[in-house]
A and B are shown apart, each in its own frame.
Chain A
């Protein structure tokens, strides 16, 4: 029987994908069993009818628009943050140290180069991107027994231990730990598991399923991990608007210079754009693959295993690149900023203050037919980097199976960002949406 074809091929920047397991039909092989168990009937063959209607639009795609924020709303004693939950010197046996990293990319940003090395993250349309902050809220870090059926990734076993925040972390700020990907990546200490919920020690022979949530910022429970007091206004806004993520920075065009004969459409594009994107994309990241166990994602390489001699690392890794993808549902697609620059406030006008683009400017922009703020198509000025492949550049981003959830470019970038959580650098998790996207 030809069970489930495996997707073929690969391309640059696509992270390792999970080969599908084959179906196994369970049978009682022993004739004695037939005698002992009697006739096996797995289903009622009567005229049972199960109909699953599908609606054109999922509630997860609905907008939640909340009022503008005020100046209050921070939890008490929010600043300064408390001492870290652990340090780089902490090595407690049978403990699990949970940290968070936005990779070196959140800290240092994305350099532009026309000749990137294989695997380098680069904006193929010539932009350099630097962040000034990358705020993310996580909660409900969980260790579970492995699920009974390894093929059912989203179904894990009994809860072994759980730590609740919610914690807000600025992944742009370098942390005290060396990141899972090695220097220059760093990570911020979050919390430590030292015992099971029942009070016992972790079993070093068991690999526990690792899961966590991204949740809306809420007061009064929000716990500050590493934010400075000058970020208070951002936190207040995140709470008021139920955002899970807020990041800001500056994009600078470093590619070839447009002229009347080269990329003429882009002569009027700004070359420096400030961005500030905030939204709520609550999700559960379940039963994550652990690349430190094995590169290939499979049931055998998922989860965290405690060590009898030292700590185990569980680094929640937020991938900043998802927001800039040109298609959905594919890890590591080429990155673009032109479509965002084209929507910046002041686009096409006289040069003045540095243009700013936020989520509001992406409303109504069809990701499959991208236009600038003046209504003209956003063209592809790719071919600015060596070795990148043409997948779905402007003016037509690909939404694949997610079309019903995506109504415009704002939905597109938020949808892609809902899969940005990983374990120990690149470990994929099962992603379950936990509510509507909030803007």
Chain B
């Protein structure tokens, strides 16, 4: 090798070692998104027993979601919001029928970089169209729940729209918090052509709902009822589950 060639090779090596550091740079990627209810036998109704002792049969459980954000840090506990930097996002909005395991899809809806996502966040969003909007009106509710609750011979049929606080008396920050389900544990590496699947399990949505022992259906226009429903609908664990599969 001539001297100029050796010098060039040496220079290139220095550049590589100094700049690359043995690590691959991040790349922008896009991926597909699927969403649906938890896998289950749809020939049977979804029946759950809440911690308050009510046996609940859900006949409708739909939630409107989006956007979704994924961060590179581990999910924290408590007041720390710093789950890291956003490394992937799904800006689309969509409605999930949590009782139907069949998957809907949005091709190429996810974007990100090639860095592991460890903490997920979903935003509850008021549906502008679709079955939730058909019941509640456009831009009103984030979820629709129907079913029957039974305990000790008391049977309550309930149906309601989950409309989050939009009152001017409540701070914008508090309203934003209601829409946000953060600190969801996940672990995937975004890759071009991969698929992120979100499954929503409604089994614990009504865990905190205090059904009236007198048999009166819950008032979905009351703040207490909504707060109780949000305890389940907004839980970071056991409700929103992400799966990743590589490029097809």
A residues whose Cβ falls under 8 Å from a Cβ of B: 1-5, 7-11, 14, 17-18, 20-23, 25-28, 30, 32-33, 35-37, 40-58, 149, 151-155, 283, 297, 327-331, 366-369, 389-392, 395-405, 407, 415-416, 418-419, 428-433
Contact = CB atoms under 8 A, between A and B. Distances in A.
A151 B177 contact: no
B85 to A, nearest CB: 4
A399 B231 contact: yes
A54 B191 contact: no
A400 B183 CA distance: 10
Contact of B52 (A328, A366, A419): A366
Given A11-B173, A391-B174, A419 B27 contact: no
B237 A56 contact: yes
Which 6 A-B pairs have CB atoms at the shortest separation, nearest pair first? A419-B78, A9-B172, A56-B238, A151-B85, A403-B235, A404-B237
A407 B204 CA distance: 12
B238 A42 contact: no
Contacts of B173: 7-11, 14
Given A404-B204, A416-B78, 14 more contacts: A7-B81, A28-B19, A33-B19, A37-B16, A40-B25, A41-B24, A42-B24, A43-B189, A44-B246, A45-B192, A50-B189, A52-B185, A54-B184, A389-B169
B7 interface: no
B16 A43 contact: no
A151 B77 contact: no
Q: Name the residue in A42, A366, A395 with the highest tally of chain B Cβ atoms < 10 Å from its Cβ.
A: A42
Interface in B70-91: 71-74, 76-82, 84-87, 89, 91
Nearest to B183: A401
Contacts of B169: 389-390
Contacts of B216: none
Given A390-B169, A401-B235, A404-B237, A56 B78 contact: no
Interface string B55-73: 0000000000001010111
Interface of B: 12-13, 15-16, 19-20, 24-28, 51-52, 67, 69, 71-74, 76-82, 84-87, 89, 91, 111, 113-114, 169-178, 180-189, 191-194, 203-204, 207-210, 223-224, 227-228, 230-232, 234-239, 241-248
A205 to B, nearest CB: 23
A392 B27 CA distance: 43
B76 A431 contact: yes
A401 B231 CA distance: 8
A439 to B, nearest CB: 17
Nearest to A284: B77
B158 to A, nearest CB: 15
B86 A331 contact: no
A36 B9 CA distance: 8
B9 to A, nearest CB: 9
A330 B177 CA distance: 9
A117 to B, nearest CB: 19
B26 A46 contact: no
B224 A46 contact: no
A400 B113 CA distance: 28
Nearest to B241: A54
B238 A57 contact: yes
Q: Name the residue in A35, A54, A283, A367 with the highest tally of chain B Cβ atoms < 10 Å from its Cβ.
A: A54
Contact of B176 (A8, A30, A403): A8
Contacts of B234: 399-401, 403
A389 B224 contact: no
A400 B79 CA distance: 11
Contacts of B235: 399, 401-404
A30 to B, nearest CB: 7
Contacts of B232: 403
B15 to A, nearest CB: 5
B244 A51 contact: yes
A3 B89 contact: yes
B172 A8 contact: yes
A58 B235 CA distance: 12
Q: Name the residue in A58, A401, A428 with the highest tally of chain B Cβ atoms < 10 Å from its Cβ.
A: A401
B227 A396 contact: yes
A431 B183 CA distance: 12
Contact of B77 (A17, A18, A331, A432): A432
B171 A389 contact: yes
19 contacts: A4-B69, A30-B19, A33-B20, A41-B24, A42-B25, A45-B247, A47-B247, A52-B242, A53-B241, A57-B237, A329-B78, A329-B182, A330-B177, A392-B227, A401-B234, A403-B204, A419-B79, A428-B82, A431-B79
A391 B170 contact: yes
Q: Name the residue in A10, A53, A403 with the highest tally of chain B Cβ atoms < 10 Å from its Cβ.
A: A403
B234 to A, nearest CB: 6
Nearest to A371: B210
A368 B184 contact: no
Contacts of A23: 85-87, 113
Contact of A389 (B174, B182, B191, B192): B174
A329 B83 CA distance: 13
Nearest to A328: B78
A372 B244 CA distance: 46
A47 to B, nearest CB: 5
Nearest to B25: A26
A432 B183 CA distance: 12
A326 B82 CA distance: 22
B184 to A, nearest CB: 7
Contact of A7 (B176, B245, B247): B176
Nearest to A154: B74
Nearest to A403: B235
